[in-house]
Amino acid sequence: MAARKRASASSDASAKPPRNEEAVKAEPKPAEAAPIDPPIAPPKLGFILKLSALFLAPYLYLILRHFDIDRELRRSILINAGLSLAGFFATVKLIPVASRYVLRRNLFGYDINKKGTPQGTVKVPESLGIAVGIVYLVLAIVFQYFNFTADSNWLVEYNAALASICFMILLGFTDDVLDVPWRVKLILPSFAALPLLMAYAGHTTIIIPKPLIPYVGMEILDLGWIYKLYMGLLAVFCTNSINIHAGLNGLEVGQTVVIAAAILLHNIIQIGASKDPEYMQAHAFSIYLVQPMLATSLALLSYNWYPSSVFVGDTYTYFAGMTMAVVGILGHYSETLLIFFLPQILNFLLSLPQLAGFVKCPRHRLPRFDPQSGLLTGTNDGTLVNFFLRAFGQKTEKSLCILLLLFQVFFILL
Protein backbone atom coordinates (compact mmCIF):
# COMPACT_ATOMS: atom_id res chain seq x y z
CA MET A 1 0.00 0.00 0.00
CA ALA A 2 1.43 3.32 -1.07
CA ALA A 3 2.31 5.60 1.75
CA ARG A 4 0.54 8.50 0.21
CA LYS A 5 -2.71 8.50 -1.67
CA ARG A 6 -2.01 9.85 -5.08
CA ALA A 7 -4.11 12.92 -5.86
CA SER A 8 -6.53 12.20 -8.69
CA ALA A 9 -4.92 12.73 -12.06
CA SER A 10 -6.86 15.89 -12.54
CA SER A 11 -6.91 19.44 -13.66
CA ASP A 12 -3.53 20.89 -12.81
CA ALA A 13 -1.11 20.40 -15.65
CA SER A 14 1.01 23.47 -14.98
CA ALA A 15 4.67 22.61 -15.08
CA LYS A 16 6.82 23.75 -12.19
CA PRO A 17 9.57 26.06 -13.45
CA PRO A 18 13.12 24.75 -13.56
CA ARG A 19 15.01 25.23 -10.34
CA ASN A 20 18.62 26.31 -10.27
CA GLU A 21 20.88 23.48 -9.34
CA GLU A 22 23.34 25.02 -6.92
CA ALA A 23 21.44 24.11 -3.82
CA VAL A 24 21.97 20.44 -4.44
CA LYS A 25 25.76 20.53 -4.39
CA ALA A 26 27.52 18.70 -1.62
CA GLU A 27 28.50 21.91 0.18
CA PRO A 28 25.16 23.69 0.55
CA LYS A 29 25.41 27.17 -0.89
CA PRO A 30 22.69 29.78 -0.36
CA ALA A 31 20.10 29.40 -3.12
CA GLU A 32 20.13 32.15 -5.73
CA ALA A 33 17.11 34.39 -5.75
CA ALA A 34 15.13 32.51 -8.40
CA PRO A 35 12.25 34.46 -9.95
CA ILE A 36 9.84 31.59 -9.20
CA ASP A 37 9.43 28.95 -6.47
CA PRO A 38 11.58 25.84 -6.91
CA PRO A 39 9.56 22.60 -6.90
CA ILE A 40 11.26 20.95 -3.97
CA ALA A 41 13.26 21.96 -0.94
CA PRO A 42 17.04 21.48 -0.88
CA PRO A 43 18.34 18.13 0.35
CA LYS A 44 19.08 17.69 4.03
CA LEU A 45 22.70 16.85 3.36
CA GLY A 46 24.04 17.70 6.80
CA PHE A 47 21.73 15.15 8.35
CA ILE A 48 22.76 12.55 5.82
CA LEU A 49 26.43 13.26 6.42
CA LYS A 50 26.07 12.67 10.15
CA LEU A 51 24.08 9.50 9.56
CA SER A 52 26.61 8.15 7.09
CA ALA A 53 29.53 8.90 9.35
CA LEU A 54 27.84 6.89 12.07
CA PHE A 55 27.91 3.85 9.83
CA LEU A 56 30.97 4.47 7.71
CA ALA A 57 33.36 4.79 10.62
CA PRO A 58 33.04 1.21 11.87
CA TYR A 59 32.56 -0.14 8.35
CA LEU A 60 35.69 1.39 6.86
CA TYR A 61 37.64 0.47 9.96
CA LEU A 62 36.66 -3.15 9.51
CA ILE A 63 37.58 -3.19 5.85
CA LEU A 64 40.84 -1.32 6.06
CA ARG A 65 42.38 -2.12 9.40
CA HIS A 66 40.68 -4.72 11.48
CA PHE A 67 40.40 -7.61 9.06
CA ASP A 68 43.19 -8.85 6.89
CA ILE A 69 41.29 -9.07 3.63
CA ASP A 70 42.82 -10.28 0.41
CA ARG A 71 44.21 -7.33 -1.57
CA GLU A 72 42.28 -7.97 -4.80
CA LEU A 73 39.04 -8.36 -2.90
CA ARG A 74 39.61 -5.23 -0.85
CA ARG A 75 40.40 -3.31 -4.01
CA SER A 76 37.18 -4.44 -5.69
CA ILE A 77 35.15 -3.48 -2.63
CA LEU A 78 36.73 -0.05 -2.48
CA ILE A 79 36.26 0.55 -6.19
CA ASN A 80 32.62 -0.36 -5.75
CA ALA A 81 32.44 2.03 -2.79
CA GLY A 82 33.92 4.80 -4.92
CA LEU A 83 31.38 4.14 -7.67
CA SER A 84 28.62 4.20 -5.08
CA LEU A 85 29.82 7.56 -3.80
CA ALA A 86 29.66 8.94 -7.33
CA GLY A 87 26.17 7.49 -7.53
CA PHE A 88 25.20 9.32 -4.36
CA PHE A 89 26.04 12.69 -5.88
CA ALA A 90 24.49 11.78 -9.19
CA THR A 91 21.23 10.88 -7.48
CA VAL A 92 21.26 14.05 -5.38
CA LYS A 93 21.49 16.03 -8.59
CA LEU A 94 18.99 13.92 -10.49
CA ILE A 95 16.11 13.95 -8.02
CA PRO A 96 15.15 17.64 -8.40
CA VAL A 97 15.31 17.28 -12.19
CA ALA A 98 13.16 14.16 -12.11
CA SER A 99 10.75 15.87 -9.72
CA ARG A 100 9.94 18.53 -12.29
CA TYR A 101 9.08 15.92 -14.92
CA VAL A 102 7.12 13.83 -12.50
CA LEU A 103 5.03 16.80 -11.32
CA ARG A 104 4.37 17.79 -14.91
CA ARG A 105 2.81 14.40 -15.51
CA ASN A 106 0.65 14.62 -12.41
CA LEU A 107 2.49 11.93 -10.49
CA PHE A 108 2.17 13.53 -7.08
CA GLY A 109 0.49 13.10 -3.75
CA TYR A 110 -0.59 15.18 -0.78
CA ASP A 111 1.04 14.50 2.56
CA ILE A 112 -1.85 13.02 4.54
CA ASN A 113 0.02 13.33 7.81
CA LYS A 114 0.08 17.10 7.37
CA LYS A 115 -3.53 17.57 6.40
CA GLY A 116 -4.89 20.73 7.90
CA THR A 117 -1.55 22.49 7.93
CA PRO A 118 -0.19 24.59 5.05
CA GLN A 119 2.18 21.78 4.14
CA GLY A 120 -0.78 19.51 3.55
CA THR A 121 -1.63 21.42 0.39
CA VAL A 122 1.78 21.07 -1.24
CA LYS A 123 1.99 18.74 -4.22
CA VAL A 124 4.72 16.30 -3.38
CA PRO A 125 6.31 14.52 -6.37
CA GLU A 126 5.84 10.74 -6.28
CA SER A 127 7.77 7.75 -7.53
CA LEU A 128 11.22 9.21 -7.16
CA GLY A 129 12.33 5.65 -6.75
CA ILE A 130 12.73 5.71 -10.53
CA ALA A 131 15.66 8.12 -10.23
CA VAL A 132 17.31 5.90 -7.63
CA GLY A 133 16.64 2.80 -9.67
CA ILE A 134 18.13 4.10 -12.88
CA VAL A 135 21.31 5.44 -11.24
CA TYR A 136 21.63 2.17 -9.32
CA LEU A 137 21.36 0.10 -12.49
CA VAL A 138 24.00 2.17 -14.25
CA LEU A 139 26.35 1.79 -11.27
CA ALA A 140 25.76 -1.93 -11.01
CA ILE A 141 26.23 -2.47 -14.74
CA VAL A 142 29.41 -0.42 -14.93
CA PHE A 143 30.94 -2.11 -11.90
CA GLN A 144 31.23 -5.38 -13.84
CA TYR A 145 34.04 -3.82 -15.80
CA PHE A 146 36.02 -3.18 -12.66
CA ASN A 147 35.63 -6.52 -11.02
CA PHE A 148 38.81 -8.35 -11.77
CA THR A 149 37.86 -11.45 -9.86
CA ALA A 150 34.95 -12.34 -12.13
CA ASP A 151 34.51 -15.80 -13.58
CA SER A 152 31.67 -16.91 -15.79
CA ASN A 153 29.58 -18.28 -12.93
CA TRP A 154 29.89 -14.96 -11.14
CA LEU A 155 28.86 -13.16 -14.33
CA VAL A 156 25.77 -15.35 -14.73
CA GLU A 157 24.63 -14.68 -11.17
CA TYR A 158 25.44 -11.00 -11.44
CA ASN A 159 23.59 -10.51 -14.71
CA ALA A 160 20.65 -12.56 -13.47
CA ALA A 161 20.59 -10.36 -10.36
CA LEU A 162 20.66 -7.25 -12.56
CA ALA A 163 17.86 -8.60 -14.73
CA SER A 164 15.75 -9.37 -11.65
CA ILE A 165 16.31 -5.98 -10.06
CA CYS A 166 15.74 -4.19 -13.36
CA PHE A 167 12.51 -6.09 -13.99
CA MET A 168 11.34 -5.25 -10.49
CA ILE A 169 12.03 -1.54 -11.00
CA LEU A 170 10.10 -1.73 -14.27
CA LEU A 171 7.14 -3.45 -12.60
CA GLY A 172 7.29 -1.06 -9.65
CA PHE A 173 7.26 2.00 -11.88
CA THR A 174 4.49 0.54 -14.03
CA ASP A 175 2.52 0.02 -10.81
CA ASP A 176 3.16 3.61 -9.71
CA VAL A 177 1.99 4.95 -13.06
CA LEU A 178 -0.93 2.63 -13.76
CA ASP A 179 -1.95 1.79 -10.18
CA VAL A 180 -2.46 -1.94 -10.67
CA PRO A 181 -4.83 -3.88 -8.36
CA TRP A 182 -3.20 -5.10 -5.18
CA ARG A 183 -3.64 -8.76 -6.03
CA VAL A 184 -1.46 -8.20 -9.09
CA LYS A 185 0.99 -6.23 -6.95
CA LEU A 186 1.44 -9.27 -4.76
CA ILE A 187 2.60 -11.55 -7.54
CA LEU A 188 4.68 -9.07 -9.51
CA PRO A 189 7.82 -9.84 -7.48
CA SER A 190 7.52 -13.53 -8.37
CA PHE A 191 7.91 -12.63 -12.03
CA ALA A 192 10.80 -10.33 -11.29
CA ALA A 193 12.52 -13.05 -9.27
CA LEU A 194 12.42 -15.51 -12.17
CA PRO A 195 15.84 -14.66 -13.67
CA LEU A 196 17.31 -15.33 -10.26
CA LEU A 197 15.57 -18.64 -9.86
CA MET A 198 16.62 -19.73 -13.32
CA ALA A 199 20.25 -18.79 -12.83
CA TYR A 200 20.61 -20.00 -9.27
CA ALA A 201 23.15 -22.72 -9.52
CA GLY A 202 23.80 -23.14 -5.85
CA HIS A 203 22.94 -25.93 -3.55
CA THR A 204 19.35 -26.29 -2.56
CA THR A 205 20.20 -28.12 0.62
CA ILE A 206 19.64 -26.87 4.12
CA ILE A 207 21.47 -27.91 7.25
CA ILE A 208 19.07 -29.33 9.80
CA PRO A 209 19.53 -27.66 13.18
CA LYS A 210 21.23 -30.13 15.47
CA PRO A 211 18.36 -30.50 17.96
CA LEU A 212 16.03 -31.59 15.18
CA ILE A 213 18.28 -34.20 13.62
CA PRO A 214 16.88 -37.19 15.57
CA TYR A 215 13.37 -36.29 14.39
CA VAL A 216 14.22 -35.64 10.76
CA GLY A 217 16.69 -38.46 10.42
CA MET A 218 19.34 -36.65 8.40
CA GLU A 219 21.84 -33.86 8.84
CA ILE A 220 21.41 -32.28 5.43
CA LEU A 221 18.15 -32.13 3.55
CA ASP A 222 17.99 -31.44 -0.17
CA LEU A 223 14.91 -29.36 -0.76
CA GLY A 224 15.28 -29.10 -4.53
CA TRP A 225 12.41 -27.20 -6.04
CA ILE A 226 11.00 -26.33 -2.63
CA TYR A 227 14.09 -24.22 -2.04
CA LYS A 228 13.41 -22.36 -5.26
CA LEU A 229 9.83 -21.84 -4.13
CA TYR A 230 11.20 -20.44 -0.86
CA MET A 231 13.44 -18.08 -2.83
CA GLY A 232 10.47 -16.85 -4.83
CA LEU A 233 8.39 -16.33 -1.70
CA LEU A 234 11.28 -14.50 -0.05
CA ALA A 235 11.31 -12.04 -2.93
CA VAL A 236 7.55 -11.52 -2.63
CA PHE A 237 7.85 -11.07 1.10
CA CYS A 238 10.77 -8.64 1.18
CA THR A 239 9.23 -6.33 -1.39
CA ASN A 240 5.71 -6.25 -0.03
CA SER A 241 6.69 -6.11 3.63
CA ILE A 242 8.68 -2.92 3.12
CA ASN A 243 5.79 -1.57 1.11
CA ILE A 244 3.29 -1.97 3.95
CA HIS A 245 5.62 -0.80 6.73
CA ALA A 246 5.27 2.72 5.48
CA GLY A 247 3.31 5.92 5.85
CA LEU A 248 5.63 8.22 7.72
CA ASN A 249 8.07 10.63 6.12
CA GLY A 250 11.32 8.77 5.64
CA LEU A 251 10.17 5.42 6.98
CA GLU A 252 10.52 3.38 3.79
CA VAL A 253 13.96 4.68 2.86
CA GLY A 254 15.03 4.80 6.49
CA GLN A 255 14.31 1.15 7.15
CA THR A 256 16.10 0.21 3.94
CA VAL A 257 19.15 2.24 4.91
CA VAL A 258 19.29 0.61 8.34
CA ILE A 259 18.94 -2.91 6.96
CA ALA A 260 21.45 -2.22 4.19
CA ALA A 261 24.00 -0.96 6.68
CA ALA A 262 23.45 -4.09 8.75
CA ILE A 263 23.85 -6.27 5.66
CA LEU A 264 27.16 -4.63 4.78
CA LEU A 265 28.50 -5.02 8.29
CA HIS A 266 27.40 -8.64 8.33
CA ASN A 267 29.05 -9.24 4.96
CA ILE A 268 32.34 -7.70 5.94
CA ILE A 269 32.43 -9.53 9.25
CA GLN A 270 31.80 -12.81 7.51
CA ILE A 271 34.52 -12.11 4.99
CA GLY A 272 36.97 -11.20 7.69
CA ALA A 273 36.20 -14.19 9.82
CA SER A 274 36.23 -16.80 7.08
CA LYS A 275 38.85 -18.67 5.13
CA ASP A 276 36.63 -20.35 2.52
CA PRO A 277 37.10 -18.42 -0.76
CA GLU A 278 33.68 -19.39 -2.10
CA TYR A 279 32.04 -18.17 1.09
CA MET A 280 33.95 -14.90 0.89
CA GLN A 281 32.96 -14.46 -2.75
CA ALA A 282 29.30 -14.89 -1.85
CA HIS A 283 29.47 -12.13 0.74
CA ALA A 284 31.54 -9.91 -1.53
CA PHE A 285 28.83 -10.37 -4.17
CA SER A 286 26.34 -9.04 -1.69
CA ILE A 287 28.55 -6.06 -0.90
CA TYR A 288 28.85 -5.15 -4.60
CA LEU A 289 25.08 -4.96 -4.94
CA VAL A 290 24.24 -3.34 -1.60
CA GLN A 291 26.81 -0.53 -1.47
CA PRO A 292 25.30 1.24 -4.50
CA MET A 293 21.83 0.73 -3.08
CA LEU A 294 22.85 2.25 0.24
CA ALA A 295 24.48 5.25 -1.44
CA THR A 296 21.59 6.02 -3.77
CA SER A 297 19.10 5.46 -0.95
CA LEU A 298 20.94 7.94 1.25
CA ALA A 299 20.65 10.46 -1.57
CA LEU A 300 16.91 9.80 -1.73
CA LEU A 301 16.64 10.04 2.06
CA SER A 302 18.20 13.50 1.94
CA TYR A 303 15.00 14.63 0.21
CA ASN A 304 12.58 12.18 1.75
CA TRP A 305 13.44 12.62 5.43
CA TYR A 306 10.97 14.62 7.52
CA PRO A 307 9.55 16.82 6.19
CA SER A 308 9.45 14.98 2.86
CA SER A 309 10.16 16.94 -0.30
CA VAL A 310 9.58 13.87 -2.45
CA PHE A 311 7.78 10.58 -2.06
CA VAL A 312 9.44 7.37 -3.04
CA GLY A 313 6.62 5.38 -4.59
CA ASP A 314 6.24 1.65 -4.95
CA THR A 315 9.12 1.88 -7.42
CA TYR A 316 11.48 2.39 -4.50
CA THR A 317 10.05 -0.10 -2.03
CA TYR A 318 9.95 -2.85 -4.65
CA PHE A 319 13.47 -2.03 -5.80
CA ALA A 320 14.82 -2.08 -2.26
CA GLY A 321 13.01 -5.25 -1.26
CA MET A 322 14.06 -7.11 -4.37
CA THR A 323 17.69 -6.07 -4.09
CA MET A 324 17.83 -7.35 -0.53
CA ALA A 325 16.10 -10.60 -1.41
CA VAL A 326 18.55 -11.06 -4.30
CA VAL A 327 21.63 -10.58 -2.17
CA GLY A 328 20.23 -12.71 0.62
CA ILE A 329 19.65 -15.54 -1.84
CA LEU A 330 22.86 -15.27 -3.84
CA GLY A 331 24.93 -14.57 -0.73
CA HIS A 332 23.40 -17.61 0.94
CA TYR A 333 22.43 -15.80 4.14
CA SER A 334 18.69 -15.50 3.76
CA GLU A 335 17.99 -16.64 7.32
CA THR A 336 20.13 -13.80 8.68
CA LEU A 337 18.33 -11.44 6.34
CA LEU A 338 15.00 -12.53 7.75
CA ILE A 339 16.20 -11.67 11.24
CA PHE A 340 17.09 -8.18 10.00
CA PHE A 341 13.52 -8.06 8.72
CA LEU A 342 11.95 -8.82 12.09
CA PRO A 343 10.11 -5.48 12.38
CA GLN A 344 8.75 -6.05 8.89
CA ILE A 345 7.68 -9.56 9.88
CA LEU A 346 5.97 -8.19 12.98
CA ASN A 347 4.22 -5.57 10.89
CA PHE A 348 3.12 -8.22 8.45
CA LEU A 349 1.72 -10.42 11.23
CA LEU A 350 -0.08 -7.45 12.77
CA SER A 351 -1.49 -6.67 9.33
CA LEU A 352 -2.64 -10.16 8.48
CA PRO A 353 -6.19 -9.91 9.80
CA GLN A 354 -6.87 -6.83 7.70
CA LEU A 355 -5.01 -8.10 4.63
CA ALA A 356 -6.83 -11.41 4.76
CA GLY A 357 -10.12 -9.61 4.98
CA PHE A 358 -11.17 -10.77 8.45
CA VAL A 359 -11.06 -7.23 9.71
CA LYS A 360 -12.21 -4.31 7.59
CA CYS A 361 -9.25 -2.86 5.70
CA PRO A 362 -9.36 0.84 4.75
CA ARG A 363 -7.44 2.29 1.81
CA HIS A 364 -4.83 3.77 4.15
CA ARG A 365 -4.09 2.41 7.56
CA LEU A 366 -2.37 5.54 8.71
CA PRO A 367 -2.65 7.07 12.16
CA ARG A 368 -4.83 10.07 12.78
CA PHE A 369 -3.18 13.46 12.51
CA ASP A 370 -4.21 16.40 14.65
CA PRO A 371 -3.23 19.65 12.90
CA GLN A 372 -3.54 21.63 16.12
CA SER A 373 -1.03 19.70 18.16
CA GLY A 374 1.00 18.24 15.31
CA LEU A 375 0.76 14.83 16.95
CA LEU A 376 -0.26 11.45 15.55
CA THR A 377 -2.69 9.19 17.37
CA GLY A 378 -2.80 5.45 16.83
CA THR A 379 -5.87 3.94 15.24
CA ASN A 380 -6.95 0.35 15.63
CA ASP A 381 -5.36 -0.65 12.33
CA GLY A 382 -2.90 -3.53 12.50
CA THR A 383 0.37 -1.86 11.69
CA LEU A 384 3.53 -1.42 13.67
CA VAL A 385 3.13 2.33 13.25
CA ASN A 386 -0.24 2.32 14.96
CA PHE A 387 0.87 -0.25 17.53
CA PHE A 388 3.74 1.94 18.63
CA LEU A 389 1.42 4.92 18.91
CA ARG A 390 -1.05 2.95 20.98
CA ALA A 391 1.76 1.61 23.20
CA PHE A 392 3.83 4.74 23.60
CA GLY A 393 1.23 7.46 23.29
CA GLN A 394 0.92 10.29 20.87
CA LYS A 395 4.02 11.32 18.95
CA THR A 396 5.13 13.68 16.24
CA GLU A 397 5.72 12.09 12.87
CA LYS A 398 9.46 12.64 13.07
CA SER A 399 9.96 11.20 16.51
CA LEU A 400 7.78 8.20 15.71
CA CYS A 401 9.82 7.50 12.61
CA ILE A 402 13.06 7.75 14.55
CA LEU A 403 11.62 5.43 17.18
CA LEU A 404 10.68 2.84 14.57
CA LEU A 405 14.09 3.03 12.96
CA LEU A 406 15.79 2.58 16.33
CA PHE A 407 13.58 -0.46 16.80
CA GLN A 408 14.95 -1.74 13.50
CA VAL A 409 18.52 -1.17 14.68
CA PHE A 410 17.81 -2.88 17.97
CA PHE A 411 16.80 -6.08 16.26
CA ILE A 412 19.88 -6.08 14.12
CA LEU A 413 22.15 -5.73 17.09
CA LEU A 414 20.49 -8.79 18.47
Residue 145 interacting with a copy of itself (CB under 8 A):
yes
- Rule CB under 8 A: say whether 60 interacts with a copy of itself: no
* Contacts to a copy of itself from residues 202-221, by CB under 8 A: none
Only segment of 148-156, 207-215, 260-268, 379-387 that touches a copy of itself (CB under 8 A)? 148-156
For the bound state, the minimum distance from the C-beta of residue 112 to a copy of itself, rounded and expressed in Å, comes to 20
Task: Please choose, out of 56-64, 169-177, 238-246, 363-371, the segment that lies near a copy of itself by the rule CB under 8 A.
Answer: 169-177
Phi and psi, residue 125, nearest 5°: -60, 140
Residues from 72 through 101 that contact a copy of itself (CB under 8 A): 98, 101
Please report which residue ranges of 71-218 form alpha helices under DSSP H: 71-104, 129-146, 152-178, 182-199, 213-216
The answer to whether residue 380 forms part of the interface with a copy of itself (CB under 8 A) is no
- Which of 28, 74, 85, 174 is in the footprint of a copy of itself by CB under 8 A? 174
* Angstrom distances, CA of residue 244 to CA of 28, 29, 383, 394: 34, 37, 8, 21
> Residue 172, Cβ neighbours under 10 Å: how many?
30
Question: How far apart (Å, rounded) are the C-alpha atoms in residues 123 and 68?
Answer: 51
Of the candidates 150, 56, 134, the one whose C-alpha atom is nearest the C-alpha of residue 94 is 134
Query: Interface with a copy of itself includes 137 (CB under 8 A)?
Result: yes
Q: Which is nearer to a copy of itself, 200 or 237 (CB)?
A: 200
Q: Is 346 an interacting residue with respect to a copy of itself (CB under 8 A)?
A: no
Sign of torsion over alpha carbons 211, 212, 218, 220? negative
From 43-51, 192-200, 296-304, 375-383, span contacting a copy of itself (CB under 8 A): 192-200
Instruction: Kindly report the backbone phi and psi dihedral angles of residue 369, in degrees, each rounded to the nearest multiple of 5, phi listed first.
Output: -105, 135
- Closest approach, Cβ 174 to a copy of itself, in A, equals 6
**Part of the chain binding a copy of itself (CB under 8 A), chosen from 33-41, 68-76, 128-136, 334-342:** 128-136
Query: CA 326 to CA 332: how far, in whole Å?
Result: 10
44: left (phi over 0), alpha (psi -120 to 50) or beta: beta
Q: Which of 38, 87, 195, 378 binds a copy of itself (CB under 8 A)?
A: 195
Residues 298-337 that bind a copy of itself (CB under 8 A): none
Q: Which of 34, 64, 141, 352 binds a copy of itself (CB under 8 A)?
A: 141
Choices 190-198, 271-279, 346-354, 388-396; region in contact with a copy of itself by CB under 8 A: 190-198
On whether the CB atoms of residues 362 and 267 are closer than 8 A, the answer is no
Q: How many residues does the chain have?
A: 414
By the rule CB under 8 A, 179 interacts with a copy of itself = yes
Which ranges of 225-367 does DSSP label H, i.e. alpha helix? Answer: 225-244, 251-273, 277-304, 313-330, 334-340, 342-355
200 binds a copy of itself (CB under 8 A): no
Binding flag, residue 23, a copy of itself (CB under 8 A): no
> Which residues, in sequence order, are CB contacts of 220 under 8 Å at separation 6+?
205, 206, 207, 208
Q: Which residues bind a copy of itself (CB under 8 A)?
A: 8-11, 13, 98, 101-102, 104-107, 130, 133-134, 137-138, 141-142, 144-145, 152-153, 155-156, 159-160, 162-163, 166-167, 169-171, 173-174, 177-180, 191, 194-195, 198-199
